[in-house]
Copies of this chain bind each other. A is one copy, B any other.
Amino acid sequence: MTAAPQERPQIAQCGAIALGTPKLETSLHFFRDILGMEEVERVGDTVYLRGYQEMKHHSLVLFASDTAIVDSHSFRVRRPQDVELFYEEFSAQGVEVAELPAGHQAGRGTALRFVVPYSGHAFELYYDIDAPAAPPEISSRLLSNSSRRRGLGVRRLDHFNIQASPEYVGDAERWLRDALGFKRREYVYVPDNDMLIASWTSVTSQVHDLAIAMSLTGQNSQMHHVAFNLENHSDLIVAADTLRDLDVKFHCGPGKHGIGQAMYLYVEEPGSGHRIELYSGNYHIFDPDWEALGWTPMNPDGMTWFGQELDVTQDGSMASATDAVSSVTSLIGQQAVAGQA
């Protein structure tokens, strides 16, 4: 009898984003003291944070950097062996992949780093990660919270939104689905030539863990925004009130997307200029035979159901460039250089 065929490796969830910031203390103040995230660990000029409902070591890495860059979007895989299995699959495809040692991000085990074909974004995959207890002064009496709700109540990382130039967005999205297993949930396209404008994809019940959208200025390798999750629409309204009084710059919102049916508020992180979304309330997909919902630019309800509209012609320029990461040498990771070398 032959061995059972290996099940293909799978991604389980968004893991963390690593953001370079020219003003580390300002950025840290924003995420920790205003949004209410926990500072779990600091190694030199790199700080690791998580939301109050996240049990694992971190979902946000802030590191000092001359410019606002995104070092990586990272994802956790479903099983320990999936790290190695993805390595094999990428190699077989000819996608260059580097192995990052345990501790490259503090608290994390061995990881893979590679650049998404066509889009140029640096992604990392890992399984092992510590789950440290919070210090007693912020610990929660609820077993499912790592710490108490504080600040504006960010409870967890929610999703990533990345941008690619128009000629690459279709190919990049197809690769994300085929190679990484993201399922298309909703999308915007031009029917005449079936050109993909944007796609919301997930490996969980969320409508999107990862969205990819066309950059209208033609730039590749951009982060449009990273989103953090709040419990209720009312939390988003309170956050808007508070952030306005702190004179934090709003990009858009509060409002509600038709796609995903969640409320949003996009702000500019004061230390770096990265675009941060506060996000609450999307529907969940449990139907095993869900078919992706297609919108066209003729129907603006998908992008803006109500509230202030997002200026779609504005790229996430201040929200980072990962140009350097498309070269082989970049596979080591900016963040290592900036934060830990």
Contacts and interface: CB of A to CB of B under 8 A. Distances in A.
Interface of A: 1-2, 4-5, 7, 12-14, 53, 55-56, 76-79, 140-145, 148-149, 153, 155, 186, 204-207, 231-235, 237-238, 240-242, 244-247, 250, 253-256, 258-261, 263, 281, 283-284, 286-288, 293-295, 301-302, 305-309
Given A284-B284, A306-B250, A141 B245 contact: yes
What secondary structure prevails in chain A residues at the interface with B?
loop
A36 B287 CA distance: 21
A258 B241 CA distance: 10
Nearest to A305: B244
Contact of A237 (B237, B242, B253): B237
A238 to B, nearest CB: 7
Nearest to A308: B308
A142 B245 contact: yes
Contacts of A238: 149, 153, 234-235, 238
A305 B149 CA distance: 14
A4 B6 CA distance: 10
11 contacts: A78-B288, A140-B245, A142-B245, A142-B258, A144-B207, A149-B245, A232-B234, A234-B235, A235-B238, A237-B256, A244-B301
A2 to B, nearest CB: 6
Contacts of A305: 142, 241, 244
Nearest to A11: B288
A135 B246 CA distance: 14
